[in-house]
Amino acid sequence: MAASIESLLEEISGVDDPIEELQCLKTALSSIPLRDLRDSVSGQRFNVIFSLLHSDDKEQVELCVGILERILLALGPVTLAQSYRAELQGGLTHPNDTVKILALTQIGRMVEHPEASTEILNNHDILAATICCIGEERMDVAKQAIQSLSKLSHSKPGLDKLFQTDLLKVIKDVMATSDIIRYRIYELVVEISSASPISLGYCAKSGFIALLLGELTGDDVLTRATSIEMVSSLAYTQHGRKYLTQQGIMEKVSNMIKGADTDPFSALYIPGLVKFFLNLAIMDSPQQVCETYPVFQNKVFEMALDPDPAMIGVALDTLGLLGSTVEGKQVFLKTGERFKAVWLRMSKIAGAGATELRVRSLDAISQLLTLQPEQQTEDLLALTESWFLLLSNQPMDMIRNISTQPFPELHCGAMRVFTAISTQLWGQKLMISTPSFMEFILDRSAGQTKDAKDAKFDLVGSLVCSSTAAEILGSQHYIRLKSYLREGAYYISAVAAVCTEGAD
């Protein structure tokens, strides 16, 4: 196979219009398993393919990119750095964006490898050109540049090169291009800062993080909205949260929520502020965050009762994620009538209105009702039961009726609510005492989409795995549920298949 690749390369170099030969080479390469391709391309020189990238013929360039993607993937990072460094550097300034992405992807591979990364770190021009790619018009080019550069944060030499040489000026020059590019640089800074406390220190010392934090209180509300998302990403790591606390950012965001009531444009950035505290609560402690920054919980409740669908959607997602934890459930319980009002609003949204909000409400309800077996204390079981019974006068019928409406996503959402209560003793008792409910679960004709079948199968599996199901549901129902589980989610009975053929 190596000989045939070599002969194809010779043919390509000897013709003026190599499209047909390039297609043959691409086909030949794609037929070789990647594990065998390294031996086939080892020792070959593919400069002719790189040279053909310098063409106005888009088809030719795309074929060359496809060939090089396959070849370079088979080569080790050290081989790339030693043999094709100049070609890849040329690719960074190529007018075709797919060539840029090819070069950036390979540079990303090299900077991850200790030996190959040394070759790249010693090449100022490659790193400068990579940084400049963040300023390219196409976002996928910029994203690949950010991804490749962020890998430099994994080593001290990489951090030194970015932040303690004149590459820092290159970053700042690119950053000054426009508002959009500035936020791409912030994205790179956050990626690097998230890697370790040391990398965060480099970013802080360079002044980038101070600039980002300053954007939180800028005059432009769109800038404010974007910056809070970036700062939220910084809070995903423990060292990031510690830094933000030291800088007083938690208090600043809390005050921004308080002041939002007097800002007519606050709807543009309030969801981001809420998500910021949600991330903190999930990462650390819902109780601690809600008690330390009560304005967060108050705002979430207020948004759930808001007529604005955008506010409601964010509130529902937040309530679900907080309430998926035991601590979050207990926090809501302490608010008494205030959460009861929110819960009733969630029930109302689930029952009628825009499909998207109904699904988000059903998902939040299922998260709030879920208790893992090890969490099922007497108090928590009483809590989830009381919440379920508060949904309506006939909550089982309410959720079942939602599942029968002609919207697959609603069917799946309703199934997830039933799955949430299926492992809890009170939930199983409600199921067996609700007329025809077990037949409803075992009926394969309801919900014909793959997602609907999967949701029903999850419910059946949850019941079968419960230690109390056989006793509560009765042996006959339990045996049928086990048969359903054994047959799989997409089983079609022989009778049903014959009827279907007859109908055809």
Write the DSSP assignment of 216-252 as a string of letters. Answer: TT-S-HHHHHHHHHHHHHHTTSHHHHHHHHHTTHHHH
Cα distance between residue 370 and residue 381, in whole Å: 10
pLDDT at 74: 85
Cα–Cα dist 132/171, whole Å: 8
Q: Could you tell me the pTM of the whole model?
A: 0.82
* Rg (the chain; Cα; Å): 29
- When pLDDT is cut at 50, 70 and 90, the band that residue 83 belongs to is confident
Q: How far apart are CA 375 and CA 500, in angstroms?
A: 45
Average pLDDT over residues 216-222: 83
The tokens describing 214, both together, are 């300053």
Averaged pLDDT for residues 105-109: 94
The answer to whether 208 and 186 have CB atoms below 8 angstroms apart is: yes
**343-358 average pLDDT score:** 95
Contacts of 504 (CB under 8 A, 6+ apart): none
pLDDT in tens, 295-304: 999 999 999 9
Instruction: Give the pLDDT score at 501.
Output: 47
Handedness of CA 369, 373, 374, 377 (dihedral sign): positive
pLDDT band at 498 (very low <50, low <70, confident <90, very high): very low
Residue 27's pLDDT is 87
Q: What is the mean pLDDT of residues 311-324?
A: 96
Indicate whether 416 pLDDT > 70. Answer: yes
Average pLDDT, the chain: 90
Q: Is the pLDDT of residue 232 over 50?
A: yes
Token pair 């697959």: residue: 408
What is the pLDDT, as a whole number, of residue 206? 95
> pLDDT-derived band of residue 9, with 50, 70 and 90 as boundaries?
confident
Confidence of residue 24 (pLDDT cuts 50, 70, 90): confident
Mean pLDDT value across residues 94-116: 93
According to DSSP, residue 260 is labeled: G
Is the pLDDT at 41 greater than 70? The verdict is no
Summarize the confidence of residues 464-481 as an average pLDDT.
93
Mean of the pLDDT values across residues 449-473? 92
Q: What is the structure's pLDDT at 395?
A: 97
The tokens describing 320, both together, are 């679900």
Query: Using CA of residue 148, residue 151, residue 155, residue 156, what is the dihedral sign?
Result: positive
Cα 119 → chain centroid: 33
